[in-house]
Structure 1
């Protein structure tokens, strides 16, 4: 696939974790469509029915890359690993990446503070881009929210509403939480102290310093996020809607290209997109 590339440089060799899953397959398909990156490894859990099969078989194409549960074997030919799996698996993969000098793009969400500290420590040994959402559009939206929050720090109630498909296991979404963090930071608040995740019964009047969250789950919604700044006499809504996971895959490839110039350190999509 990349052998016919007209670029002078060697393609970046990329491994994909969770290769049999929906996001894994989207990443593999995106890699197949590029000239500057090539699929070099495919990982999945030992229980996956895809183990041993060709990673691009679902596209009707033979890549010669077999899906394996052996982390070191899956990474032996890779420059970068892209991982959208579960926190425990991602940490296990990162430990091996740090040992082998393989860089990593992490799109996994749901990390605890302790796990985030572990990632930061391992990023001193290899370069990592980590973001709760790899979509270029979502990250531009985060920048817009930062601007809006600074201008509307008083007199506006802030509510974050997110909707996802019925299979999503965590709530609020990692993207919704990131939106809350960006807004709180811009306003000089701590999200841990001002977030409200549930309302039921007689709740009393709304605390003006709070940031509210609401989560909707249903059908095949890929991901919708709306932030409402509700004032007296006006309201602003900033919305991002994903209709396909393709945006996450394309953002991930931009992160892979960004890592080419970095040997160590923990980076995010604001770094990748030069939004800081």
Structure 2
């Protein structure tokens, strides 16, 4: 499977390249970076710390031309920023290349563009590619369906100081899982932040708390709190390798799939 990586010089991009290098049946077909990167023209394997002669990386250079980077690939993995991801999806449609998207923070218009692209190519889009997180999503939905609204639901997340969106895409996915368990729409019941005199907490509300600091890879906790007890479901990631592993696994899974929008539930058979 020939895989291109968008954002190849970033921390996640480098980890994806290392994961491709150690995955049987996967080769690096392209490495994409923004036009302002000072690593353009460099060997992608060297930048990722794998070296210049690894058999799975084939001396691929980092380039800024989207078409050149992904045109020869079977799939492109994209953990970049919303505007770039939408542009990459447009080119992927032109080239007939499937996509794995881990980008979060897309606005409604950008989200609609991804949905439109998925009518023409297979796209796997997940807020979090960790196997553990996706098991957690299933558990949160099931737990919410079993508990009545007397149990207040709060989603707490912490990430590194460099993260640009809040709440995290994973936190919102956990909130949506809880809302699905209660058969409500998250947007009708969420409280993304609290400040000042907010009044008493309404019954049925799903709240979010966001922490940022240091180099924390990702911590997510979903609390179900009632008058006499509190149930917590937790996940902590210690390395981005878990996301890279899930993304490359997803790219391999997309081989031969029909156009459509898929998620990690499909990959894991949940």
The equivalent of 1:193 in structure 2 is 188
Equivalent in 8, 20, 25 of residue 36 of structure 1? 25
Supply the distance in 1 between the matched residues of 2:230 and 2:50 (Cα, whole angstroms).
50
Structure 2, unaligned runs of 5 or more: 53-57
The equivalent of 1:3 in structure 2 is none
Equivalent in 225, 232, 257 of residue 220 of structure 2? 225
Supply the distance in 2 between the matched residues of 1:201 and 1:173 (Cα, whole angstroms).
23
Supply the distance in 1 between the matched residues of 2:262 and 2:193 (Cα, whole angstroms).
32
The equivalent of 1:97 in structure 2 is 92
Q: Residue 117 of structure 1 aligns to a residue in which SS?
A: helix
TM-score, normalised relative to structure 2: 0.95
The equivalent of 1:5 in structure 2 is none
The equivalent of 1:241 in structure 2 is 236
The equivalent of 2:106 in structure 1 is 111
The alignment covers a number of residue pairs equal to 264
1:119: Cα distance to partner?
A: 0.8
Supply the distance in 1 between the matched residues of 2:50 and 2:185 (Cα, whole angstroms).
50
1:54: Cα distance to partner?
A: 0.4
The equivalent of 2:115 in structure 1 is 120
1:197: Cα distance to partner?
A: 1.6
Could you say what the CA RMSD is over the residues aligned between the two structures, in angstroms?
1.0
The equivalent of 1:7 in structure 2 is none
Q: Residue 199 of structure 1 aligns to a residue in which SS?
A: coil
What are the superposed Cα offsets for residues 214-269 of structure 1, whole Å, 9 maximum, x if unpaired?
00001110000000000121111000101100000010012112101303111011
Matches within 5 A, 1:9-48: 12-48=1-37
1:60: Cα distance to partner?
A: 4.9
1:202: Cα distance to partner?
A: 2.2
Equivalent in 71, 74, 83 of residue 76 of structure 1? 71
- Asked whether 1:57 is paired with 2:52, we answer no
Supply the distance in 2 between the matched residues of 1:110 and 1:84 (Cα, whole angstroms).
11
- Asked whether 1:170 is paired with 2:165, we answer yes
Supply the distance in 2 between the matched residues of 1:122 and 1:199 (Cα, whole angstroms).
36
Supply the distance in 2 between the matched residues of 1:156 and 1:218 (Cα, whole angstroms).
29
1:57: Cα distance to partner?
A: 0.8
Structure 1, unaligned runs of 5 or more: 1-11
Supply the distance in 2 between the matched residues of 1:90 and 1:84 (Cα, whole angstroms).
8
Equivalent in 136, 143, 159 of residue 138 of structure 2? 143
Contact 2:41/2:61, CA 8 A, preserved across alignment: yes
What are the superposed Cα offsets for residues 36-58 of structure 1, whole Å, 9 maximum, x if unpaired?
11111000001011111000113
Supply the distance in 2 between the matched residues of 1:238 and 1:60 (Cα, whole angstroms).
37
1:201: Cα distance to partner?
A: 2.4
Equivalent in 175, 178, 200 of residue 205 of structure 1? 200
Contact 2:18/2:50, CA 8 A, preserved across alignment: no
Contact 2:7/2:31, CA 8 A, preserved across alignment: yes
